[in-house]
Structure formats: C-alpha cells, structure tokens
Amino acid sequence: MKNYIYENQDGMVRMNKIRIPDALMFTLYALPLFLSPLSTAATGISLGLLLLGYFLSGHWRNWRVLRTRPWTLPYALLIAWTFLGLVWTSDMYSGMKVAEAAGYGIFAFMGATLPWQERWVKLLIRLFLAGIALNALLAFMMTWKTLPWMNTDNLPYTGFSDHIFLSLVLIQALLWLLWDFQKSWAIPKWLAVLLGLLFFVQLIITPARSGQLAFIVLMPVAIWMLYCGRWKYWALAALCIGLGALAISPVVQSRVELGISNVEQFIAHQNSTTTSLGIRLATMEAGWRMFVEHPLLGVGTGNFALEMRHLQNENKVTKTPQIINTSAANSYLSEAAVLGLPGLIFLLWMMLAATLESWKSRKYPQGWFVLMYLMVFWFGGIYNTLNWGYDNAIGLALVIAIPMIPFRSRV
C-alpha cells in the first residue's frame, strides 16, 4: 500500500492517492464469505474493512460500469423503496433491520466496479469453500466434545452457523463442486471429492430440512445441466446413492416424521399452532393476508410482527402463542406484505435480471457459480425469508457482482 501526498498552495497536506494492491482488495472482498459460517461479528468487522479499503482504493470511480449490469436499476429501486417504507411503518426498530438487510446491496455495486480477473474469482470461491469446510471440521469436534465450545442453538454438527443458513450454503457449495469435480478449475479433483463428502455428511446429519429439500430438488437439475453422455448417468447414479443415504439417515427420518406431525397438528387445530412447520404456515397465511389488504404500499418496512399480531387478534389468521413472527417465512410473501406490489416487483426483477445474466454465462465458471447460488436463493426463498437474513443478504450482494464476461486464463 503506497501513500501519495502533496502540499497545496495554502500549505495544507492532502492525500492524493492510496494504492491498495488488488490481492488485498479482493481478499477483503471475499473475507465476509469466508467468515459468514464462522462468526456474525467477524463478518461485520470484515465488511467494515472492505468499506474502508474500497473507499481508499478509488475503485468507486469506475461507477459507469454499473450501467452494463442488468440488476443495477432494480436493486437500486429495491433498496430505495425499502428505506421509503420506513415512512409508513409503526415498528421502526424492526424496520431498520429490514432496511439494513436491503442496504447490503451496496456491496453488489461496489463489487461490480472492481478490476476482476480470473484469479480473483478463484480466490473468492476458495475462501467461500474454506469457510464452510472450517466450520464443518469445528462442528464435528464440538459435537464430539473435542473442543469445549457449544454448537449454535445446541444443535449437533452445526458449528458456529445457524442451521438453516448452514444447510443452504452447503447446497450452494455442493452445486459448485459439481463443476469443479469435472473441470478442476478452482481446486484439484481430489479436494473436490473430499469437500463434497464432508459437506454431504454434514448435511444429512444436521437437523436442517431446508438444505435437504433443496438437495433433492436442485441437485438433479444441476447434474442434468452440467454433464453430458455417460457422465450424466454416472452422476445420476451417484446422486441416487446420495438420496438413499439421505433417506436412511436417522436425523432426516426424524425431521420428516416431525414435519408430518406438524402438518397434522396444524390441520387439526387451525386456530392456534406452536409447531415449527405450523408457525411457518401461519406466517405465510398472514403475509398473504397483508398483501391482499395492502397491495400497493404494504404494511411498512419491518411492520410484519405488529400487523400479524393485529390480524391474530381479529381471528383472521392462525394464532402462534408466545411467538413473535417478523416475516412470512417466504422471501416473496414477506416482501409483498411489507412493501406491496412494487417491493415484490423490484425483488423479482433484480433476481431475474441477475439469474438471466448468469444463465447466459453458465458455461463459464463464474457464471455457473453465480447461477447455482441464485438457484438456491430462489428455491430456499419459498420457505425462508432469505432476502432479510444477515448472511444471505450479504452473500447475495457479493456474489452477483462477479462479472459474467470470460476472463483471460490467468492463475
């Protein structure tokens, strides 16, 4: 890092330029993805360092490149509309949390202006995988009492991650490893196999239905898209073995039985529910009701919990005793509920624009990585509010900023 200083006519010393090496800049950029499975606090600190490094680097002067990215306008409109929704909210505290999650979109704009090369995409993907792998190893040692720390929420094999976020990020990693196993682009083939086994084992022994369902639905689609000829059938055969392991896992079986029990309880007692799946269904019901009653503006940014309690008091939606529900457990219903039709349109427009951009470049490594990340985001958003999640919102912004143009081959 070099400082360039000059003295003006008034005798005041000013800093003219600070050159931050690209290696440092892109390490700072990828660091939040590495730290997300490990520590929320460390992720926040890394974001602060990224902001500082970016401001000093002067890469923001390349803002004109944002005109070439199809998601720029809808993302900017989504952020602006979310902050505007604070005007008609009754819960400013929760509203600021939702606005903060939307505000992480600034990192997509920052990332798009960086001088990307192939080696920096490799660095980002390697750090992304390294963070998940490190958390997995720590999770095993913590569960086996080799380390004195507790798993998050005392759920076995989750390590320092929230179990829902962890299960979905494991799928994102596995979908990428399909590519790297075939191409050996970012990591060697043997390492792709080892990481794939590690992530899959963690997935089937962790109480996380979100990721397990995403695996069943998205993995066959990814294999069909990526592999050709006999390799496709070998990959599908391996997938069948994986699905068999998933089916006989005691953890998976217990979660399936619990889910069936939750649904039966919800059907039998539709006026009130306290089960995990029942609460999700109740919040989805409330989200839809809010959207129907407030289609143009929604109920206001962050006002979901107060409005749901109001609907429950009027017996319009299922009650969830002693449970505060801050979202509809669905990205799309949550956005529509609090920000109305404009909010939903901006969210879908942004995600569709980024997906189509990556789809056109799916034969390139960065295109496949971004496309698979978005596939999990699309699917996981059906039963989780991912766009308001801290790590999910940050990850989405950092990932979609990767340029889709082919790079010259540089390691």
Report pLDDT digits (tens) over 42-90: 999 999 999 999 999 999 999 999 999 999 999 999 999 999 999 999 9
| 325 lies in some domain | yes
Residue 167's nearest CA partner among 365, 379, 326 is 379
Residue 148 makes CB contacts below 8 A (sequence gap 6+) with: none
The answer to whether the beta carbons of residues 18 and 1 sit under 8 Å apart is yes
Burial class (CB in 10 A: 0-12, 13-18, 19+), 347: buried
pLDDT averaged over 10-residue windows placed end to end, the chain, 411 residues: 44 56 95 96 96 93 94 97 96 95 96 95 97 96 93 91 93 95 93 96 87 91 86 80 82 77 75 84 94 96 95 91 89 97 97 97 95 96 93 96 77 41
Q: Which of 316, 319, 259 is nearest to 293 (CA)?
A: 316
- On whether residue 405 sits in a domain, the answer given is no
Question: What are the tokens at 353?
Answer: 């624009």
Q: How far is CA 98 from CA 101, 274, 339, 358, in A?
A: 5, 25, 11, 27
- Grouping H, G, I as helix, E, B as strand and the rest as coil, residue 399 is helix
pLDDT computed for residue 408 by the predictor: 63
The CA distance from 209 to 350, in Å, is 27
| CA-based R_g, the chain, Å | 22
pLDDT digits (tens, 9 = 90+) for 168-211: 999 999 999 999 998 899 999 999 999 999 999 999 888 878 88
Residue type, 121: V
Q: Which residue is it, tokens 């095993």?
A: 140
| E strand or H helix at 263 | helix 250-268
Q: What's the token pair of residue 271? A: 């006026």
CA atoms within 13 A on the CB side of 321: 6
5 within a domain of the structure (yes/no) = no
Number of domains in the chain: 1
Domain membership of residue 77 (yes or no) is yes
**Rounded CA gap, 62 and 47, in Å?**
20
Neighbours of 313 (CB within 10 A): 10
Evaluate whether residue 14 is within a structural domain: no
Distance CA 314, CA 322 (A): 17
State CA 143 to chain mean position distance: 25
Strand residue runs (E) in 157-204: none
Alpha carbon 79 to its chain's center: 17
The vertex-251 CA angle with 249 and 254, nearest 5°, equals: 110
- Residue 88 Rama label (left phi>0; alpha psi -120 to 50; beta): alpha
Full residue range of the structural domain in which residue 307 is found? 21-400
Predicted pLDDT of residue 76:
97
Please report the pLDDT score of residue 2 as a whole number. Answer: 45
